[in-house]
Amino acid sequence: MARRPDHKHGIKRGRIREWPDGVGTPAEVAARISYVGSAQHKTYDSPAGPPAFKADKAKCDRYRREDWPLLRGALRDAILAGSLGEFRGQFPSRAWAWINDVLHEARLTNPATGEYHGFPINDPRQYPEPPERLEAAPRVQIPVV
């Protein structure tokens, strides 16, 4: 009989951090980021590529291609608001924003270029700590198809 794996899947709960020294201002960092998305969170053809949804990944809402710049805007707003995790190099590893009243997490995909992908957090037990810092996270509305 095969052994059960010791590894357990799940989202590691993030922690909202203070702005570090030596990375520039929030406006400078926000100006350098880009949102590229991830096909693993999509069930539709998107600017991230053809759908490659994996059952263990969070399922994203469907947004029109012309609304994808709004996702980048939400990420920039999260950086400006300080709703972010620890830095990896010159960029925050995570950032949080409320999109259509659902908390979303953006994760740094490429630390060299500042590319991010994002996904909804549907379980409040996975919200970053401390929870009172989420009040500063930006709130945006983006039309869902």
Mind listing the pLDDT tens digit for each residue in 5-33? 554 555 578 999 999 999 999 999 999 99
If one counts the domains in the chain, the total is 1
Residue 97 placed within a domain: yes
Residue 45 placed within a domain: yes
**Better-scored residue on pLDDT, 116 or 38:** 116
pLDDT of residue 3: 61
pLDDT digits (tens, 9 = 90+) for 42-69: 676 777 777 777 766 777 888 999 999 9
Q: Which domain holds residue 79?
A: 26-140
Residue 36 placed within a domain: yes
Residue 9 placed within a domain: no
Q: Is 119 within 8 Å of 43 (Cβ atoms)?
A: no
The CB density around residue 111, as the number of other CB atoms within 10 Å, is: 13
Residue 49 placed within a domain: yes
Q: Which two tokens stand for residue 77?
A: 């707003």
Residue 65 placed within a domain: yes
pLDDT digits (tens, 9 = 90+) for 63-107: 999 999 999 999 999 999 999 999 999 999 999 999 999 999 999
Residue 108 to residue 101: CA distance in whole angstroms: 22
Residue 88 placed within a domain: yes
97 Cβ contact partners less than 8 Å away, ≥ 6 residues apart: 74, 75, 77, 78, 83, 103, 104, 106, 137, 138, 139, 140
Residue 98 placed within a domain: yes
Residue 110 to residue 91: CA distance in whole angstroms: 9
Residue 98 to residue 69: CA distance in whole angstroms: 16
